[in-house]
Amino acid sequence: MKTMRKRNSMTVALLCGLALASTTVSAQQSSADDWQFVPVGPPVSYLDSPRALQQPFFGPINRPSAAGQEILRRSLEGIDFIGSNCGCLPPDTNAAVGNDFVIETVNVQIRIWNKTMGNILFDETLAQIFGAPTGGDPYVVYDDIADRWYVSAFDSNNTGLFLAVSRDGNPLHGFLTFHLAGLGFPDYEKPGFNRDAIFIAFNNFGPGGGAAATIVAIDKLAAFGGTLRFSISVPQFQFRAMPPAQLHGDQSGGVEWFVSTDGTDAGGNTIRVTEMTNYFSSTPNFTYTSLPVTQYQNAPRADQPGGSITTFPNTTTTQVQFHRGHLVTAMASGTPADGFTYPKGLIFDVDVTSGAPVLSGEFVVDPGAGVAAQMPSVDMDQSGRLGITWMESSRNEFLSMWVATLDQNTGNLVSTVAAGGVGFFSVNFRIGDYSTTVLDPNGQTFWSANEYIGNSPNIDIWRTNITSFTAGAQGAVALNSGR
């Protein structure tokens, strides 16, 4: 949900030859009867008991190690405030990576890079993808099972959602676009997928919605053919994000997983793992497991040189990744170590290989006393090592983007600054909504998207960066451009 926006005028004409088809379906329907293709130029080719609090895995800020520098591979300067064509605060930074492309969405812009060369292939407002202006809160996901891209966001009046599904693995070949209308006010929407379905979870702030988590399950194959078939359900109450997992490599289907706080973003000592089956019916099955974790609580304080920074919102998961029977997620929240004052990065690894969720790992990214770590996200590589990003600030450090790798077996965390903050963050009402960390299809390289503050914060209020990195010394610094 955004409270400060000034929008520039946005054209709804489809540019750059991207082909688009459009479908509008009301939430009261379970499927679309027809869809229409609108040609717009030629296609473009181009654990069982509470656990002890983990100790910090690294020390003072502003001292990245040589090992930290060695993990970096490529850094792409992302969309900034000026380039967003929105005037939106915050940017809602997120990105996805496929075999040949990197895509970032912010409010309300989309940018596509060639992954190997780093050159920009497409840079337009999201209206060019959806065929109409969007209210923002965009999210892009790459489905490595189907080799497709999904982009979701508010519709034009914030009472429904747009969904764009790429025609194939090349996003430049165009998208099929769908409109899920009449959803109330579907705030804080997050997409995920398994073999069979695309899932979008949101909190319904519309009339009668009660801010409850709501889940849309969309038939994937039908969508690929241009037809929207979906079901809508309301699970046990969950406030703020209940993100569906991105089930990489899922070959069986039939199950979708969610990891969230246990009902509220105020705090707690459990996280909730939700299993959903029979999701295409009007009466899906939900199984809830509350896993004990170290107590967490909404943290009220974050500093920067010369002042403070908001911590709103924190204590909410925003992304869940699944690999080989493990769910990994992250959130920022206060811990007992400093009396729940400064947010830290909390990382959870949940093993669902036996069907019953078990907490496999719990970690705290704590950069030191008085340092706030916000907007974390995490993914897991093919060797079980974690890649992490977060935003960091203190009395001695402007709001910066950090990345790290974590070996869960040894507790060895190697971290470094990905984009160092150099300006005062003056817009102090909301820190952001999410960051993303995703695993490259090569199974080894992480890509993280996050926010930082540049050298002209009164004009170019926020900036974003997309950094790729690997666990181990083999990823030498290369092509760190744009900063």
3-state SS, 200-249, equals EEEEECCCCCCCEEEEEEEEHHHHHCCCCEEEEECCCCCCCCCCEEEECC
Beta bridge partners of 405: 387, 414
Nearest Cα neighbor of 466 from 446, 444, 449 is 449
Distances (CA, A) of 43 to 15, 37, 115, 130, 353: 11, 13, 21, 16, 43
CB 163 within 8 A of CB 111: no
Sole residue written with tokens 């974690």: 386
Categorise residue 249: left if φ over 0, alpha if ψ from -120 to 50, beta otherwise.
left
Which is it for the CA torsion 456, 458, 460, 466, positive or negative?
A: positive
User: From CA 38, how far away is CA 24, in angstroms rounded?
Assistant: 13
Number of H helices, E strands in the chain: 3, 34
Q: What is this structure's pTM?
A: 0.88
Cis peptide before 108 (omega within 30 of 0): yes
SS3 271: strand
Domain locations along the chain: 1-30+38-46+89-234, 48-77+252-483
For 11, the token pair is 């054209």
Q: What is the pLDDT of residue 269?
A: 98
First to last CA, the chain: 30
- 359 Cα distance to chain centroid: 22
Categorise residue 36: left if φ over 0, alpha if ψ from -120 to 50, beta otherwise.
beta
User: From CA 299, how far away is CA 294, in angstroms rounded?
Assistant: 15
For 446, the token pair is 């992480």
**Phi, psi (5° rounding) for residue 104?**
-120, 140
Which is it for the CA torsion 202, 205, 211, 215, positive or negative?
A: negative
Contacting residues for 225 by C-beta, under 8 A, at least 6 apart = none
Count of positions (residues) in the chain: 483
1-30+38-46+89-234 CATH: 2.40.128.630
CB 352 within 8 A of CB 278: no
- Along the 483 residues of the chain, how does pLDDT read in single tens digits? 443 333 232 222 222 335 566 655 544 333 322 222 222 222 222 222 222 223 332 222 334 556 777 888 989 999 999 999 998 999 999 999 999 999 999 999 999 999 999 999 999 999 999 999 999 999 999 999 999 999 999 999 999 999 999 999 999 999 999 999 999 999 999 999 999 999 999 999 999 999 999 999 999 999 999 999 999 999 999 999 999 999 999 999 999 999 999 999 999 999 999 999 999 998 999 999 999 999 999 999 999 999 999 999 999 999 999 999 999 999 999 999 999 999 999 999 999 999 999 999 999 999 999 999 999 999 999 999 999 999 999 999 999 999 999 998 888 889 999 999 999 999 999 999 999 999 999 999 999 999 999 999 999 999 999 999 999 643 322 222 222
Q: What is the pLDDT of residue 24?
A: 53
Nearest Cα neighbor of 346 from 137, 53, 15, 134 is 53
Nearest Cα neighbor of 152 from 244, 85, 233 is 244
- 248 Cα distance to chain centroid: 15
User: From CA 237, how far away is CA 244, in angstroms rounded?
Assistant: 15
Sole residue written with tokens 């060019």: 128
User: From CA 130, how far away is CA 463, in angstroms rounded?
Assistant: 24
Task: Please give the helix or strand (H or E) that residue 66 lies within, else none.
Answer: helix 66-70
Question: In 324-385, at which residue ranges do the beta strands (DSSP E only) sit?
Answer: 326-333, 344-351, 358-365, 372-380
SS3 129: helix
Task: Give me the helices (H) in 371-469, please.
Answer: none
Task: Give me the helices (H) in 199-334, please.
Answer: 220-224
Q: What is the pLDDT of residue 433?
A: 93
Contacting residues for 320 by C-beta, under 8 A, at least 6 apart = 192, 243, 244, 245, 246, 257, 258, 259, 327, 328, 329
